[in-house]
Amino acid sequence: MKILVLGGVRSGKSRHAESLARAGSGRVTVIATATALDEEMERRIAGHRAARPAEWSVVEEPLYLATALAAVAVEGTTVIVDCLTLWLTNLMCQADASLLDAEIEALLALLPRLPGRIVMVANEVGLGVMPVNALARRFGDVAGTLHQQLAGLCDSAVLMVAGLPLALKGVERC
């Protein structure tokens, strides 16, 4: 089962993904894509670490998500990817501009073949005002396109608003 959890900042996305993992059976691995570039981000990462059960495995991978997923996804386990938005940001900040397209293609090609349950968390950035600069507009375009592609590949999709999950696709099976 593949599940996409979308929502705004502090909408409850990670908490919902973690609750889905807790409700399942088997081992849980979190692939964390964040990088701590400042003290505020360090605090956010520390908060996520503190909220996770100690027995969950964590893989920190800011760029090569498909490779990390292929290494940890096995039948009977849950893998949480938290979060796709930071992953895209990391890729867009690389000197090699071709890495973004290559890694997105790798993820989209691999996802349907992955065993186990995969729960992907992403910020829905397309609900706000139109960004004023080209980079921000490009990011919104890339994220929105990726979300559409992933929603098409996933069994279930949820939009989190104020901590509440709104069913978009197949949520009754989560």
Q: Is 147 a catalytic residue?
A: no
From the list 48, 58, 110, 169, the catalytic residue is: 48
Cβ neighbours of residue 73 closer than 8 Å, sequence gap 6 or more: 79, 114, 115, 116, 118
Residues serving a catalytic function are 48
